[in-house]
Each structure stands twice: as structure tokens, then as C-alpha cells.
Structure 1
């Protein structure tokens, strides 16, 4: 071997070959790393498909979308698998996947008192979340850590929870006799099979328990008006109440009198008309007998006279109809007036024939009648009629508890066989 023949040119070739070999090895390593990265990406993609396992790793949620009622408890059913040879060190639920950070909800103050893990470290990962609110509407994930410090996120498999309240939907107003349909609405379709309960004015309508979320009121009555709310059987949450306004024509129309005691001529009297109607009646008419005498809910008479005695009624009207009240009698009391005496028979009277003086008066209540002969303080008779048997001037006096009045005197003269009436 001729070592003397080894030149610097040959040394450069060896170095270049070495560098080339190192470069080739580097390229091969880079390619292998890219292949591994691509394989991992493919693996993650497969794991993102719901319910699909990869190499024995899987998480499944059933159902994967839950609609729950506010303030209820929710069971989030979950199962998972992992390859043989691994041991589960930690299991937890999370709701954030940002930056590969998986906070444990059981350590979150908003969840720690309400979240209960019902599963195990084998294959069951079910939890119960109590007293849910709309803030709990979120996407949730189950995660676990193995003895090889592997945190399995299993792609984007997830469980979506939507929390809804209940709202009663009803027409603003209905007219008596119509049919009305009320609907108990939620923002999503409830996952659990629901039995609806209806309330009116906070009292349950026990006959209205149905899987249908609608309440049908056929031929609605005024008694059906009120504040309606709905709930689900075996749930504490009750929807906000909505008022159902039932409109109807006047009913139970009546008249009241003030003063309610005895009415005397000269008093001031007020008649009031009231009715049950919706909307409230604003149109009132007053009648004495069949004669219209006034309008308005109040009909006032100042210094009432006896001529205004009679039967009164009012008519109440709104846009749905009208109705009359029963008649009420206005009975005005007054003292005797227009008192007069008549004699029977008229004309020539023969001595010994019967002769009767009659007293008439207008009063309320009817007056008691007394007869007097002028210049005598004591009454000579009483009653509507008086038989005069001697000459003289006679008059009658009518009186009741409101006053008295006397008639003009009439003169009776008896001569011989005849008596003549002198005025």
C-alpha cells in the first residue's frame, strides 16, 4: 500500500462523502418525523368521529344532545374504553378545550356542589348535574389520564347541554264563548318525556295533565280569566304567569238608591247603576217606566217631588252587548195635600134622610182623617166619611207622620124637613 500517494485532494473527497451521508441521514429522519406527525393527525381525525374507537380508545355519549328544564337534575350518560395494559388514574369532565387545557369541573366552584360522578374507572363515565340554569348551556367533554401519563381527549367527541325555561303563549284577550289555546313553550325539545301541568291563579288544574303542551279551553267563560302558568310533572320549576283576559257583555246589572232609608219629598236622591262587564261599561241610560230620563252611571234628583215616584231601571252597554237592570221602585213620602170635602147626596136634603160628608186628600203614606165642627176643640168624628145630623160648619183634617192639612169648612143647615148646604 502506497501511503505516500495519499493526496489532499483525496482527503477532501472523503470529507465531502461524509457530509453527504450525514445530510442524507438527516433528510431521512425529517421524512420519518413528518410521517409520524401525519399518522398522529390521522389518528386524531379518526378519534374525532363520535362513537368511533381507535386502537381501543373511545368515548360515547348517549344522547349527545340534551335539552333540560331549568332547575332540574340532568343525567349525562357516558361510556368509555381503552386498550388492555393501561390503568386509569384519573377521570374528569370538562367544558373547555382551548390550548389543550382541560379544567376539572369537579373543582370549579360553579359546579363542585352540583356535579356528582356516577361512573367508575372501568367504562362508565356518567354524571349527574343538579339545579341546572341557562348558564349551564354548554358543550361538555369527558377526559381520563392513564398510568402512562396519557391524557385522552379523543378528538372532538362532546355532549351538548341546552337548558330551557318555560313560557306560556296565549292570545292577549278572548271573548266569552270563543275557544282559546294556550301553549307551554320551551326553547328546545325536552329530552325527557314530559307531562305538562297547568295552573290558574297558582292553583293546579288537576284535570289538565297531559303529554301535550297545549291547554284548550272550549267556549271560554268569564270565570276562565286569570293568570296561567305551566310546569312539568315532578319538577319544581313553574313558568312565569300570563294573564288571560276574557271580555264579555254586561251582566248582573243592578240599581242602588241613596239614601237607602225612607225618601221624603224635598230630599236629594241618587240612583247608581252597576254591572259586571269586560271591558267595563261606559254607557249607561236611565228610564222611568219606558221613558228615557237621563244618562251616566249616576242619576241624581235634587229636591225630589211626589211626581217623581215610580219604577226606574238602567241599561248598561259595552262593545260586546247591553243589558237592563231589574226595575226598582222609588217611593217618595209626603204630607197630605189637595184636601177637600164633598157631600152626598147633593141638592135638597129632607130632614131625617142620610147625609154623608167625604174627605179626600193626596198623601204618602195615606193620611188618617179627623172631623171637626167649628168652635169645638174635640173631633166629632173620624174616617174618610162623616154623617152630619145637625146644622153647623164642618171640616176634615188629614195627617200622617210627615205633616197635616185641613180642608175648607162647609156649612150644613137643617130647616124643617130639609137641610141645605151653604158654602
Structure 2
């Protein structure tokens, strides 16, 4: 009995292995059985293996070995943290490998909350493009990768959107108050990154000593 590899190389003849690959061996649980054992299967082991008996005529039997590989994310070629200005385009990359080719699904979750609830984005594939980003896009995005071979994997990508300060007064622009009374002036500022705030009176900056 002869075992032949997908590359047409003779693996074994009888009980003797002819290839240098020590992962392969012939097992004979019974005198009439010649099993080919391959340890530590690799993707390049995929292909048709042929069992041949040198009778007259020669008898052959082929079996196809389909090696499946679980999904993996290539971190060096994937996004990690992206910082943009409002109005720019964000390109998020989740470079994946696996056999069969994995499916990539994108999710978005609120980085400011403690909840793990995720919102599915209507986009699939290794690249997620967000045009004209706004401050509402400032979040954590997750690519979920699965090809039916466990385990599935995922990666979180932080998107930071910077925008100029916006000032909102919490009271009318003109206030009246009696002399000697205390008055609180509220000023709400929205900005990313956080803005440095100063108060001015008639154009003059107020210091702590004032």
C-alpha cells in the first residue's frame, strides 16, 4: 500500500514513511487497514491524498482533506485609534485571515456608558468608511469576525472626533441684580478636546486673586 500526497510525493510505502515530515505516519489497527495519520494539521496539507495498491490492475482511492482555519485579526494591519476633525472621513480597517474567508460585521457602542449594549451598523467587510464625521461618531467601534470555525474574534477601535468650542449661556444675555447680592453666571462649553476657559470683564481677564 502506497500513500501519495497532493503534491504527488510518495508519503509511505508499506509501513515505512518515505517523507521527512515526521507529522505523518501509517497506523495499522488491523492487518488489512493502512491509515495515514497526520498530526498538527496545517493549511498547506489541504488537497487530495491517494491510497494506491500495486495490484494488476493498480487500484487507487482518493480522499480530499479540507483544512479549515479559525479567524484571526492582523493587528499590525488593522486600526486601533483614529483621531479626526468634524467633517473628515474615517476609514476603519479590520484586516482578517481564516479559511473559509471570514465575515466581518461592524458594531458601535457608547464609550461613555457602562453598558455593553452594541448597535449593529449596516455595513460588512474589512473596511468601514464613515463620511463627514460628526461628534456623534465619537465612540468605540467593534469588528466581529466569524467564519464558522471557532472561536470567533473581535477588535475594538476608538474613534475620536475633535471640534471647536461652542459656548452656550444658561441665562439671558443681560442680567439685573441688586448691589451687594451674589450672582452666578453659568456658561456651558462643548469642545473636544476640552477647552481652557477664561472669564473677562470689560475685556480684562479675571484671575483667581480677583
Q: TM-score range by the shorter chain?
A: 0.5 to 0.7
Q: Which of residues 141, 145, 158 in structure 2 aligns to 1:312?
A: 141
Contact 1:315–1:322 at 8 Å: present in 2 too?
A: no
Q: Please identify which structure carries the higher helix content.
A: 1
TM-score in terms of structure 2 length: 0.62
- What TM-score does the superposition give when structure 1 sets the normalisation length? 0.34
Displacement after TM superposition at 1:371 (Å):
1.6
Q: Which runs of 5+ in 2 are unaligned?
A: 29-33, 50-63, 110-117
Correspondence for 2:205 among 379, 382, 386: 379
SS in 1 for 2:136: helix
**How far, CA to CA, are the matches of 1:326 and 1:362 in structure 2?**
30
Q: Which residue of 1 aligns with 2:68?
A: 247
How far off its partner does 1:312 sit? 0.7
Match for residue 97 of structure 2?
276
* Residue in structure 1 matching 2:88, options 255, 259, 267: 267
User: Which position in structure 1 is the counterpart of 2:155?
Assistant: 326
Closer, same or farther: CA 372–342 of 1 in aligned 2, 3 Å? same
How far apart are 1:357 and its partner, in Å?
2.4
Q: CA shift at 1:308, angstroms?
A: 0.6
Q: Which has the higher contact order (CA 8 A, sep 6+)?
A: 2
User: Structure 2: how far apart are the matches of 1:211 and 1:318?
Assistant: 33
1:336 aligns with 2:165: yes
Q: What CA distance in whole angstroms lies between the structure 1 residues aligned with 2:163 and 2:87?
A: 9
Structure whose alpha-carbon radius of gyration is higher: 1
Deviations 1:58-115 (A, max 9, x none): xxxxxxxxxxxxxxxxxxxxxxxxxxxxxxxxxxxxxxxxxxxxxxxxxxxxxxxxxx
CA distance in structure 1 between the partners assigned to 2:105 and 2:141 by the alignment:
11
Q: From the superposition, tell whether residues 261 and 295 of structure 1 become closer, same or farther in structure 2 (CA, over 3 Å).
A: closer
The 1:273/1:294 distance shift into structure 2, 3 A limit, reads: farther
The change in CA–CA distance for 1:251 and 1:262 in structure 2 (over 3 A counts) is closer
